[in-house]
Chain A
Amino acid sequence: MNYPVWDIPASGLLIAAIAVLHVFVSHFAVGGGLYLVLLERKARRNEDGPLLDFAKRLSRFFILLTLVFGAITGVGIWFVIGLVHPQATSSLINTFVWGWAIEWTFFFVEIAAAMVYYYGWDRLPARTHMAVGWIYAFAAWMSLVVINGILAYMLTPGAWTLTRGFWDGFFNETYWPALVARTFVAAGLAGLFAIWVASWVPDRSLKARIARDAAWRWVLPMAVAIPLSLAWYLSAAAGAGVPVAEVFGARDGSLAALLSAVFSTGLATGHPVAQRAAWWVMVAAVALTLLTLLLAAARSRSFGRPFAALLLVLGLVAMGGSEWVREGLRKPWVIGQYMFVNALRLPAPDGVPAPPEAFVERFGADRFTLDAVNASGVMKASSWVRPVPAHLLSPDAYAARAEHQGRELFRVLCSACHTIDGYQAIRPLVRGRSPESLAGVIGRLASPVDAAGNASAWNVLPVHVKTWRNRRMPPFAGTDEELQLLAAYLALVGGADPSALGPPAPSDDVGKAYYDTNCAACHASDGVAPFDPGGRTPAEFYEMIGRLPGINEMMPAFEGTEAQRKALAEHLASLPGKTPTGGAR
């Protein structure tokens, strides 16, 4: 909200589309450099003319793909994250400008070396040409070495959260496993692209030689190495506090539990996008491995371009899906332990370098922490929201105000991940819900807990985020009034009658009020678990309310007063079986 929100639906998908294509090509740019120079060395040592010609052909494909599409889509990621997450990009640039500058020196060498390598085939002495090839391979891998630090930091920022130190963020908990995994991926992709270029070679014998070599030496070993390195990566992430098991909706963090969760359907908990992405990764990776085995064992002479293209597509799905899972693991953060996906920062923990007085004097106190926005409200914190027209401020115009202000709040707080009807659509989630029940959910989207799961505070690090049904959402930020208005807006999106909407008034029925706020989100008639009293008495309900997590682990413990507990028990007993409860129709 410090920056304007790019007002388009599912802007995050733009990042995903560009990033997935870029990482696919850029990892090939890393592995492919090594592949090319080794291929050239082999061809020269064996005085193998046809193989050397293939290396030239591959290098032409290589520069056309990596120097143009790869390099420019890399810039594209930078452009698009600046548009979709300007606040996070600004923080990243501020923290890691020298990391990017260092990476740029390798990029500079990489681009120059690729051009000299390509244009030097018929000009440079063999030794020099090979040297340029090695320089390319090294520079390309080093650019991965550097960028990996920044990418890994976003998930596991390490000691940076307290020190704000460059190296503390760079060499974080997942740095090494991520680097190893990405290096293996780069090697595997080099093999896949070699198979693709080989599919164009008319000489069947040469084609078979190249394909078998690429399959056995480059692709298939990675089918073992990549899963192992990813297991290491997930374990390191979990060790750093990333709720891997929660995200996948698994019982625990064991490999068996994670796999079982990925292949389960309709999980009531966890992050559905990450779960689906992981499923695609598994399926694509297994299919890719089997088809590459088939190619190496039986089809190396006869495979065609469609077959090679299929392998590439499977590689793209596996790679893109993995990046999607990584993004899912990071939710609800955009920068772990520092900034949520909707650009709100945690209040600064004690001990973190604080801005000097002169800075605060010039720019004021941070207006975009959770605490600050809770105090000021969203509408008063940002110059990029559309103010509420004066005529909507009367109580009679509550629905119209909710329509206007709620939409603004949704845009600022929710649209980083949700659309109304498209990707991660909100309408199906709020259909038929009452403002009261939605306010209950919004108010408990996320809360800070410590490692043992006990309530904590947002400025006590490390923060573990307990989210509603493990959906990995950021907490609501804004005033109570804004929360109610957002809830009313969502109720309207869900089909509520505008004429029935009004400012929330204290209810005389304490039990009903408690139920609407805390229970109806799941237990309304069209919720995930419609409530049926089953003929129980108030006394029975009273006793059950005291052990809610024991009845179902997804239920939070009752946190109300004794009077509320009694009233809630009365209300539950009075409800009809499986009929609509509360909620605007």
Chain B
Amino acid sequence: MIPAIPQPDPLALPAPAWFLWALLLLLFFLHLIPMNLVLGGSIIGAIARVRGRRPDRPHEARLAHIVVKAMPVLISVTVTFGVATLLFLQVLYGRLFFASAVVMGWWWLSVIGLLILTYYAAYLLAMRESSLGAAATILAWLVAALAGTIALIYSNNMTLMLKPAEMVALYAADGSGVQLNLLDRSLLPRHLHMVLGAMAVGGLAIAVLGVVRRKHDEAFGLWAVRYGAFICTAATVVNIFAGLWWLAALPRDVLLQFMGRDMRATGELLAGILLTLTGAGHTVLAATGKRPGVMVTISAVTLLAGIAMMLLTRDTIRRISLELAGFQTVNWVAPQWGPIVIFLALLVAAVGTVVWMTRALVIARPGRQP
């Protein structure tokens, strides 16, 4: 019997697996936040654009405008961290990732075209918003729909790569790269969970925006805190059910690990749920008007911590699924310390440079130069 999981390259892993894993999770976290702002923000922005057409809803029109202006930068940050995440995913799980990508080849490659479309649509909106008229609403929905589609394709690949035997069967049926993992019961709840999570993060970002803006424009600021709190809380509450659906759709052996068989997995899941509920709850407190700055800060910190826990839970699902499928980590390690040290040093320099440039831009006033 030929194993379904491809054989590893006869090359040593270029760093300890734990180090690669830590970078994978850190970078995925850094990718996930802007990605949520793109996905959730574009949906919220499109809704706000439609609702903001009425003259008695000026704040929603303004919110739609802010989302549009921020979108190109958010996409750029998402892509930048997404690229790095994918790199480390491929080092650790390339054997599964490449195979599943080939099985759904055309879909996977279509991400590139869809992303270019999303990006240009976002730029067009940002640069020509006022002159586009009704087309601006269509474009706003297009950006949201494209972002959702890209996320769905990713979910397909990330779930398919956990099931080597199914990959082989799908490929045997059609190897031209048109397959998707649609028969996976966990795909839809997983995707729904991600989209709702993105909306919750988008809501939180609007609440943060409200706190920042309320010093200069109290009416908009307080409205944004309430509006953001509502979205964040509503999305989180609905997401509890989506999350339960996802759990129930997991294979029994995986599910049982989260039901106390694996205490680490169970702990991560519970901590994630508690932290996100705490975060959403504090946005409600912020919306009631008492110390909104403090409440939103607590909300942001706990929600981000909750997301970190959810990432660990997601990673645990991967780990357990792959163990059950017979996947084994490469046990030949020859760290390339020289390049690793150079990378870390350059990373520090890069972060410093980007912070300096961004700060210079933020503190500069429009019209100051030339």
Q: In the bound complex, what is the Cα–Cα distance between A68 and B117 (angstroms)? A: 9
The winner among B4, B10, B349 for most chain A CB atoms within 10 A is B10
Q: In the assembled complex, how far is the CB of residue B196 from the closest CB belonging to chain A, in whole angstroms?
A: 27
A423: interface (CB < 8 Å): no
Q: In the assembled complex, how far is the CB of residue B173 from the closest CB belonging to chain A, in whole angstroms?
A: 10
| Contact pattern, A 437-462, Cβ under 8 Å of B = 1, otherwise 0 | 00000000000000000000000000
> Is there contact, CB below 8 Å, between B360 and A120?
yes
> Is there contact, CB below 8 Å, between B102 and A6?
yes
Which positions 324-358 of chain B face chain A at CB distance < 8 Å?
328, 330-332, 334, 336, 338-340, 342-343, 346-347, 349-350, 353-354, 357-358
> Is there contact, CB below 8 Å, between B103 and A363?
no
B56: interface (CB < 8 Å): no
Q: In the assembled complex, how far is the CB of residue A233 from the closest CB belonging to chain B, in whole angstroms?
A: 25
A251: interface (CB < 8 Å): no
Chain A residues with CB under 8 Å of B55's CB are: none
Q: In the assembled complex, how far is the CB of residue A442 from the closest CB belonging to chain B, in whole angstroms?
A: 23
Q: In the assembled complex, how far is the CB of residue A391 from the closest CB belonging to chain B, in whole angstroms?
A: 18
> Is there contact, CB below 8 Å, between A383 and B342?
no
The residue of chain B having its C-beta at the shortest distance from the C-beta of A93 within the complex is: B90
Q: In the bound complex, what is the Cα–Cα distance between A121 and B368 (angstroms)? A: 9
Which positions 84-124 of chain A face chain B at CB distance < 8 Å?
86-87, 89-91, 93-95, 97-102, 104-109, 111-113, 115-116, 119-124
Which positions 154-188 of chain B face chain A at CB distance < 8 Å?
167-168, 171-172, 174-177
Q: A382 and B112 in contact (CB under 8 A), knowing A107-B83, A124-B364?
A: no
Q: A91 and B87 in contact (CB under 8 A), knowing A4-B99, A67-B76, A72-B112?
A: no
> Is there contact, CB below 8 Å, between A14 and B360?
no
> Is there contact, CB below 8 Å, between B353 and A123?
no
Which positions 1-42 of chain B face chain A at CB distance < 8 Å?
2-4, 6-15, 20
Q: A4 and B370 in contact (CB under 8 A), knowing A93-B91, A98-B343, A348-B10?
A: no
Q: In the bound complex, what is the Cα–Cα distance between A95 and B175 (angstroms)? A: 28
Chain B residues with CB under 8 Å of A345's CB are: 10
A125: interface (CB < 8 Å): yes
Chain B residues with CB under 8 Å of A132's CB are: 357, 360
| Contact pattern, A 62-96, Cβ under 8 Å of B = 1, otherwise 0 | 00100111011101101110110011011101110
B120: interface (CB < 8 Å): yes
Which positions 337-378 of chain A face chain B at CB distance < 8 Å?
345, 348, 353, 355-356, 358-359, 362-364, 366-368
Chain B residues with CB under 8 Å of A109's CB are: 350, 353-354
- From the candidates B109, B340, B358, name the one contacting A98 in the complex (CB within 8 A): B340
Q: In the assembled complex, how far is the CB of residue A354 from the closest CB belonging to chain B, in whole angstroms?
A: 8
Q: In the assembled complex, how far is the CB of residue A485 from the closest CB belonging to chain B, in whole angstroms?
A: 19
> Is there contact, CB below 8 Å, between B98 and A104?
no
A579: interface (CB < 8 Å): no
Q: In the bound complex, what is the Cα–Cα distance between A367 and B2 (angstroms)? A: 11
| Contact pattern, A 410-451, Cβ under 8 Å of B = 1, otherwise 0 | 000000000000000000000000000000000000000000
Chain A residues with CB under 8 Å of B347's CB are: 105
Q: In the bound complex, what is the Cα–Cα distance between A128 and B362 (angstroms)? A: 13
A386: interface (CB < 8 Å): yes
Chain A residues with CB under 8 Å of B109's CB are: 14, 76, 79-80, 83
| Contact pattern, B 74-92, Cβ under 8 Å of A = 1, otherwise 0 | 0010011001101110110
B133: interface (CB < 8 Å): no
A541: interface (CB < 8 Å): no
- What number of A residues sit within 8 Å (CB to CB) of B? 84
Q: In the bound complex, what is the Cα–Cα distance between A208 and B367 (angstroms)? A: 30
B361: interface (CB < 8 Å): yes
- What number of B residues sit within 8 Å (CB to CB) of A? 79
A126: interface (CB < 8 Å): yes
Q: In the assembled complex, how far is the CB of residue A419 from the closest CB belonging to chain B, in whole angstroms?
A: 14
Q: In the bound complex, what is the Cα–Cα distance between A364 and B343 (angstroms)? A: 33
User: Across chains A and B, which 6 residue pairs bring their CB atoms closest together, nearest first?
Assistant: A98-B339, A7-B175, A86-B98, A76-B112, A123-B364, A383-B2
Q: In the assembled complex, how far is the CB of residue B5 from the closest CB belonging to chain A, in whole angstroms?
A: 9
Chain A residues with CB under 8 Å of B353's CB are: 109, 112-113, 135
Q: In the bound complex, what is the Cα–Cα distance between A362 and B365 (angstroms)? A: 61
> Is there contact, CB below 8 Å, between B370 and A105?
no
Q: A6 and B120 in contact (CB under 8 A), knowing A93-B87, A108-B354, A112-B358?
A: no
A164: interface (CB < 8 Å): yes
Q: A100 and B357 in contact (CB under 8 A), knowing A6-B105, A83-B102, A93-B94?
A: no
B101: interface (CB < 8 Å): yes
A129: interface (CB < 8 Å): yes
Q: A116 and B360 in contact (CB under 8 A), knowing A83-B102, A383-B3?
A: yes
B141: interface (CB < 8 Å): no
- From the candidates A2, A124, A353, A386, name the one contacting B368 in the complex (CB within 8 A): A124
Please give the residue numbers on chain A whose beta carbons come within 8 Å of chain B beta carbons, in ascending order. 2-8, 14, 18, 44, 52, 64, 67-69, 71-73, 75-76, 78-80, 82-83, 86-87, 89-91, 93-95, 97-102, 104-109, 111-113, 115-116, 119-126, 128-129, 132, 135, 164, 166-167, 345, 348, 353, 355-356, 358-359, 362-364, 366-368, 380-384, 386
Q: In the bound complex, what is the Cα–Cα distance between A125 and B95 (angstroms)? A: 50
| Contact pattern, B 263-305, Cβ under 8 Å of A = 1, otherwise 0 | 0000000000000000000000000000000000000000000
The residue of chain B having its C-beta at the shortest distance from the C-beta of A99 within the complex is: B339
Chain A residues with CB under 8 Å of B142's CB are: none
> Is there contact, CB below 8 Å, between B83 and A368?
no
Q: In the bound complex, what is the Cα–Cα distance between A356 and B111 (angstroms)? A: 39
The residue of chain B having its C-beta at the shortest distance from the C-beta of A8 within the complex is: B176
Q: A82 and B101 in contact (CB under 8 A), knowing A8-B176, A107-B80, A129-B369?
A: yes
Q: In the bound complex, what is the Cα–Cα distance between A518 and B80 (angstroms)? A: 55
Chain B residues with CB under 8 Å of A129's CB are: 369-370
Q: In the assembled complex, how far is the CB of residue A36 from the closest CB belonging to chain B, in whole angstroms?
A: 15
Chain A residues with CB under 8 Å of B343's CB are: 98, 101-102, 105
Q: In the assembled complex, how far is the CB of residue A3 from the closest CB belonging to chain B, in whole angstroms?
A: 5
Beyond the given pairs A68-B119, A104-B87, 13 more chain A to chain B contacts, judged by CB atoms under 8 angstroms and listed by A's residue number, are A80-B109, A86-B99, A90-B95, A93-B94, A98-B340, A105-B343, A120-B360, A124-B368, A125-B368, A128-B364, A355-B332, A380-B2, A383-B3
> Is there contact, CB below 8 Å, between B328 and A102?
no
Chain B residues with CB under 8 Å of A126's CB are: 369-370
Q: In the assembled complex, how far is the CB of residue B13 from the closest CB belonging to chain A, in whole angstroms?
A: 7
B223: interface (CB < 8 Å): no
Q: A353 and B334 in contact (CB under 8 A), knowing A44-B370, A129-B369?
A: yes
B116: interface (CB < 8 Å): yes
B115: interface (CB < 8 Å): yes
> Is there contact, CB below 8 Å, between A384 and B168?
yes
Q: In the bound complex, what is the Cα–Cα distance between A107 and B109 (angstroms)? A: 22
